[in-house]
Structures are given as structure tokens and as C-alpha cells.
Amino acid sequence: MKAHDALYIDGEWRPAATTGTIPVINPADEQVIAHVPAGTAEDVDAAVRAARAALPGWAATPPADRAARIAALRDVLAARADEIAATVTAELGAPPKLAAAVHTGLPIAVAGSYAELAATHPFEEKVGNSTVLSEPVGVVAAITPWNYPLHQIVAKVAPALAAGCTTVLKPAEDTPLTAQLFAEAVHEAGLPAGVFNLVTGLGTVAGQALAEHPDVDLISFTGSTAVGRRIGALAGGAVKRVALELGGKSANVILPSADLARAVATGIANVMSNAGQTCSAWTRMLVPAERYEEAVALAAAAAAKYVPGERLGPLVNAAQRERVRGYIEKGVAEGARLVTGGPRAPLATGYYVSPTVFADVTPEMTIAQEEIFGPVVSILRYEDVEHALALANGTVYGLAGAVWGDEEEAVAFARRMETGQVDINGGRFNPLAPFGGYKQSGVGRELGAHGLAEYLQTKSLQF
């Protein structure tokens, strides 16, 4: 049985309980490239039972041995990197260079980081007359989005494995083929049966069944704040652990002392990468009033380099394209100045949206408050640093952000931002640094030691 036709449960590929399938569409040409099983609550139950049965053995496996298995998984992913990148391009529409470097290279590095952490993390420590133990939380439900299909899987499954947890993965229905490749890699790496399980299916069916399952100990979800709120309520009602990585409306704050050209160009690149389908994208550019028009002109020039179908990929599906177009139309209707781009389709085929820059955006406008999840940048002007800070913190989100300017001044500003991660003068992404949000951007952290801690619970022995 080929992987596309099956679910991965208890160490083997097996047919789903029913014959329903979900089409997988290439968003660049709108062609169906595969069908995957539409898993049901019955399939989810089988997967959770397999994970529960495998838990005692995996939890008792010495951390060094778990580390070796995760390292083997990383090596298989690295050996299949070209195939993974091509699959991400096919089902997400990511341009090949982005698919290779970010969608494939980054999660391989993260997998490697958890192989090292599994071997080095202090799972026991002495505190006075106590020994404090960090033990696996149990069976983990990982519900992942489509925008970074492999990275989001690895960022949940690798730390869960490192902690000694077993997992059931329900990937986004738009990008299940990457998840199937990951399951093949798990199998090839020799992880014990039941430690990792994959159920493809609709969020409203398989995802809900997994979130509601009484034998799941922790739900780790990445996606919209609306769905995260429902999952958080479910978890709270059942008194079980939850980790939520949700939406963002991150500010790119350009202080008067900044290199304006570099800050604007990097800010545009940040949003246009992955066609704006990044929860941490700096979609609000905050510019001092005295340099506002200069910044607007620089932003228009930078956005022009992102040609749809070349450097700029499509959105993931037709509904997402219409959603983003609707936000662009709302921006115009509410009085923002459309500098470049707009709602018209740039290509006859594919779910493309033109790179779009708005000027004269005021903080109460919809495009300044709501997550658009497309290649759209809103440029706001500020009068002084305190005004900039009020604008930066003036949304319900707090996931990421950027500050440009004199380093001491930029760091002082960043410390006052209500957000989980801030890049100073273009600081590089660090896969060991915790990623996650304040306010409605989520609960908990992913990556590095902080990400591992999400999957551990604490026991103390007193002597």
C-alpha cells in the first residue's frame, strides 16, 4: 500500500476506516496532484491507542537512546531533502529556493537540535533535599498548519520525542504529502511502533476528534486564533495541557536613527517570503513622520522585485486568495492609499495575489489590526518614540517584531514591546531561541530548551 493511500498507525501503513479522500491541489496551476485518506474519529482512536500502548516503553528509553533515534530521523530527512523540497513546492507553491532553504533546511536543523537536547537536557536535578524529575507529559496530539508544513511538524514532534512522549499528528489538509514523507522518514529511522502516528483528515473531523480524545494528555496546535480559542477551551474543560501558536500582526519599527533603505527592503522581504503566509511576518511598518514618503517610495520599489510566479509564490488555496483580496479591498474602502499591487489577479492561473503596499494606514483600520496572511504591508507613520511604541503594542497580538536603529536605543525599545520575539537590526533566526507569543498570539513556546519543556511534567522526591 502506497503512503498516499494510507494512514501511518502503530508502525505500519494501513487503510483508513472509510474510503473518503481529500484532494491535494498544486496552488500554482490549480491541478489535483494526489488524494489522501480523510481520516475519521475511528482512525484517530486507533492512533491514540497505539500511542498510549507505546508510551511506557518510549518513556523508559534512556535519553541518549532517544537522542540517537532523533538523530537518525534527522539524517533520513537530510538524505531526502530534495524530495521534501519538491513536495513542498508542489503542494504549497513555495518557490524552489525557499522550499530548499527554509521549508527543508530549517526543520532538519531543528531536528538536529532536539537530538542534542535529548542527550544533554537535565531530566533530573537536585534542589535542596529533593530530587526534581522532568517526565514526559504523555500522549501528544500535534495539529499542524499548512504554511510551513515540515517545520511545524518537526517543531512539535521532535521535542515530544526528546521528552519521551508519543505522538499523533494531524497535518493541515492542504499539505498532507509532506507529512507522509515525514512518516516515511520516521519508519526508516527505526522509531518503535506507535511512538509516532499520522492521521490525515479534515480539521473539523479528525482534528476535532483528536483534540477531544480523552486519552490525549497535551494538545499542541498551530493555526488561527479562532480555532486556537476553541481548542484551548476544550483543553481547559478537560484539565489537560495545551500549547497554542496562533496569529500575529507584527510591527517593523524603524527608528529615526535606522538605515532606512535597509530596514524597508528587509521588511518587505520578510512579508513577501512565503507569499506573506507567515504568522510572525512584519506586516505593519512603522516609520517616523519626517521620513514617511521616502519609506513609502522605498517599499514600492522593493515590492516590485517580487514577481508573482517567480520570487512570489501563490497562496495555498482559492479561499485564502479570496480572503486576502477581501482585505485589500477593505483597505481601499477604509481610506488607505494603495501604493502598489491590489486585488486584481496578476496571473490567469494559480492562487496568486500581487505584492501589495498600503500607505496612510491609521491604527483603527482593519488592515492595521487583523492578520491578513498574504503579501500585504501596511505603512503607518508615528510622531515620536512613545507614539511608535503605542502603535507597536496596539493590537490583540504579540508574536514577533523588529526594531531598526542605534543598537542601544533599539534594544531599549524592544524590551518595552509586548511580543515574544524581536529582531534587532535584522537579527538572524535562531532555531534554539524560544518562539511564541504574548496576548492572543498563543500559549507556550516552541524550539530549543523552552520548546522541550512544554512536553515535560515535574515530579519532586523529598529525602
Beta-bridge partners for 380: 286
pLDDT under 70: residue ranges of the chain: 1-3
CATH class of 3-246+441-462: alpha beta
Quote the CA–CA distance of 109 and 98 in Å, as a whole number. Answer: 15
Nearest CA-CA partner of 300 in 246, 373, 248, 358: 358
Question: Is the separation of the CB atoms in 136 and 164 below 8 Å?
Answer: yes
Q: Is 251-431 a CATH 3.40.309.10 domain?
A: yes
* Widest CA span in the chain: 72
Cell reading at 343: 486585488
What is the pLDDT at residue 3?
A: 58
Please enumerate in sequence order all residues whose Cβ is within 8 A of that of 436, keeping only pairs 6 or more positions apart, or say none: 245, 399, 420, 421, 442, 443, 444, 445, 446, 450
Question: Is the separation of the CB atoms in 48 and 139 below 8 Å?
Answer: yes
Nearest CA-CA partner of 232 in 219, 217, 248, 223: 219
Length of the chain: 463
Provide the phi-psi class of 55: left if phi over 0, else alpha when psi is between -120 and 50, else beta. Answer: alpha
In the sheet where 456-462 sits, what is the strand order?
124-127, 130-136, 456-462
Cell reading at 10: 502503530
Question: Is the separation of the CB atoms in 8 and 198 below 8 Å?
Answer: yes
Burial code (b: 16+ CB inside 10 Å, e: under 16) for 353-387 equals bbbbbbbbbeeebbbbebbbbbbbbbbbbbeebee
Question: Is the separation of the CB atoms in 318 and 351 below 8 Å?
Answer: yes
| pLDDT tens column, 187-245 | 999 999 999 999 999 999 999 999 999 999 999 999 999 999 999 999 999 999 999 99
Question: Is the separation of the CB atoms in 241 and 232 below 8 Å?
Answer: no
Helix, strand, coil percentages (3-state) for the chain, rounded to 5, are 45, 20, 35
- Using only C-alpha atoms, the chain has a radius of gyration, in whole angstroms, of 22
Burial code (b: 16+ CB inside 10 Å, e: under 16) for 207-221 equals bbbbbbbeebbbbbb
What stretch of H or E contains 88? Answer: helix 81-92
| pLDDT tens column, 282-332 | 999 999 999 999 999 999 999 999 999 999 999 999 999 999 999 999 999
Q: How far is CA 11 from CA 51, 83, 124, 274, in A?
A: 10, 22, 30, 33
Beta-bridge partners for 253: 286, 403
Quote the CA–CA distance of 49 and 40 in Å, as a whole number. Answer: 14
What is the pLDDT at residue 4?
A: 79
Beta-bridge partners for 353: none
Report phi then psi at 443, rounded to 5. -135, 125
Burial class (CB in 10 A: 0-12, 13-18, 19+), 116: middle
**Which positions are catalytic?**
245, 279
What is the pLDDT at residue 1?
A: 39
CB atoms within 10 A of CB 424: 14
The bridge status of strand 284-288 relative to strand 376-382 is parallel
Cell reading at 143: 495539529
Please enumerate in sequence order all residues whose Cβ is within 8 A of that of 303, keeping only pairs 6 or more positions apart, or say none: 268, 272, 340, 341, 355, 356, 357, 377
The domain spans of the chain are: 3-246+441-462, 251-431
Cell reading at 288: 517616523
